[in-house]
Chains A and B, each alone.
Chain A
Amino acid sequence: MSQPAEDRPLDLLERASLWTSAFCMAGMAILMLAEILLRSVFNSTTEHSDELVGYLLVGVSFLSLALCQSRGAFHRVEMVQMRLGPRGQALSALIFNVLAFAYIAITDWYFLQFVMSSYRREAMASTVLATPLWIPESVMILGATMLLLALAKSIVDDVRKLVA
């Protein structure tokens, strides 16, 4: 698992997924460390670190998914799969990817509704920053959409394998 499943270089979608989520992860650590330093050495505070860190976690959670899907990082139970022939495996992969696509598409649609509602209602964080919430919430749409693209790519590959 520590090694990418394939050796081919990262494509554009994978790179976007990796860099955005790595940015979020590093940002989380740096913000927290800044808060700790300010608080314990300078008796001060960043005032927004825990708010931003929460947003960044949403970023890591959703932006990383396209990379995970594309590189086969999501795990499965192999019990039945091992007993299937190559055609059976390709067919089941196709069915699962279509189901996953449908699931994420539904989720993404409701993310969109949610963010639009936030935007219309001018929902803000009740913090010093008063962040308009639709901005960090949109990250969920971005992540889910990238995952949809990765799933679409997988589906195309599955169909190719079946036809070949």
Chain B
Amino acid sequence: QTTTWIVYTYVPAATLAPAKVFQEIVERVAKETNGGLQLKYHLGGSLTIKGTDITTAVGDNVIQIGDDGMQQGNVPITGILRLPMLITNRQEFDKALAVMKPYVEKAYDKRGSTVLSTYYFPLQIAWSSKKLTSLDEFKGQKIRATSPEQIEFLKRFGANGLTVSGAEVPSALERGVVDGVLTANAGGGKVWKDLLKYCYEIGLNYFEANIAVNKEAFAKLPANQREVLTKAIVELSPKMTEMLFAEEGEEKAKRKAEGMVQTTATPEDYKRGADRMASYWDEWAKPKGAETQEALKKVREALGR
């Protein structure tokens, strides 16, 4: 007898690394369970369920597996990993992730799902059609941001952080409604490249996604299927991160060849950024309760920042 599970992701394109690797997961699970567990993978938007609702969709068993990258409204504590200028390289991110793991798992568990794995995108950096080669040049620019935390960063450096839906970014850039965006080379960088001239590589934050399964449905699976599924996700999802980082390098080189003005941020820039943002990190955690504050404190200790 066959069990069919719906897998749903926030990722909008089949060409993106998480979607490609998920195809491997789907195939491996089907093969190793002899077709007993069929995963049906749906790209972001195809089910008209919002990316920001994936946590709820998994918890309610509307979908059984969620590739959940827009969870911050549902699982606010995960926002720590995206506080601008807090985490600036991969070693730091891995350290922070290890500290956060029990907190994130507990938060998902409370919402009816179990996190099997977490992968992440390269640092989100700043792009603009106007000159943007230093922190000071943010001043007066209109930059599209995707979180309140990024908007705060932009505000603190004199830029106007705007929320424009992904679909409207191209026309907004083309017509100058916004001057720039915050995104990775491997993300929006390759979609909107024609409309941008400057890339200021100051990494604001990483973007992580959790692969979560519905707790009840997971418990109901026969033991061997549960094991195959867990193993496939745990073993293959790090590949998503690796592919994304490899792609980040390739795409960056392509942008350079195409004439994008790329400026690397100096350690002093990062220092200035962190100093300017440090007070915000605490302000941010305060209304979110004791647990979030505790987790933030531990992450900052681990990073020495």
Contacts and interface: CB of A to CB of B under 8 A. Distances in A.
Direct contact of A and B (CB under 8 A): yes
Interface of A: 39, 43-45, 47, 50-51, 113-114, 117-118, 121, 123-128, 130, 133
Given A51-B163, A117-B59, A118-B56, A126 B72 contact: yes
Interface string B130-153: 000000000010100001100100
B292 interface: no
B204 to A, nearest CB: 16
B73 A125 contact: yes
B272 to A, nearest CB: 23
Contact of A121 (B59, B70, B142, B147): B59
Interface in B117-174: 140, 142, 147-148, 151, 160-165
A72 B163 CA distance: 39
A43 B140 contact: yes
B249 interface: no
A45 B56 contact: no
A39 B70 contact: no
B60 interface: yes
Contact of B160 (A44, A123, A125): A44
B148 A126 contact: yes
Contacts, number: 56
A121 B148 CA distance: 21
B155 to A, nearest CB: 10
Given A44-B160, A126-B147, A127-B163, A121 B111 contact: yes
Given A45-B161, A50-B164, A123-B74, 5 more contacts: A39-B162, A45-B162, A121-B59, A123-B55, A130-B73
A121 B162 contact: no
B77 to A, nearest CB: 12
Contacts of B262: none
A126 B51 CA distance: 11
B76 interface: yes
B96 to A, nearest CB: 19
B142 A123 contact: no
Contacts of B23: none
Nearest first, the 5 closest Cβ-Cβ pairs linking A and B are A126-B73, A126-B72, A128-B148, A124-B73, A121-B111
A114 B160 CA distance: 36
A51 B161 CA distance: 15
B230 interface: no
The residue in A121, A125, A130, A133 that gathers the most chain B C-beta atoms within 10 A of its C-beta is A121
B52 interface: yes
Given A45-B160, A51-B163, A123 B151 contact: no
A115 B239 CA distance: 37
Contact of B74 (A39, A43, A114, A121): A121
B76 A39 contact: no
Nearest to A125: B73
Contact of B52 (A44, A50, A125, A130): A125
A58 to B, nearest CB: 12
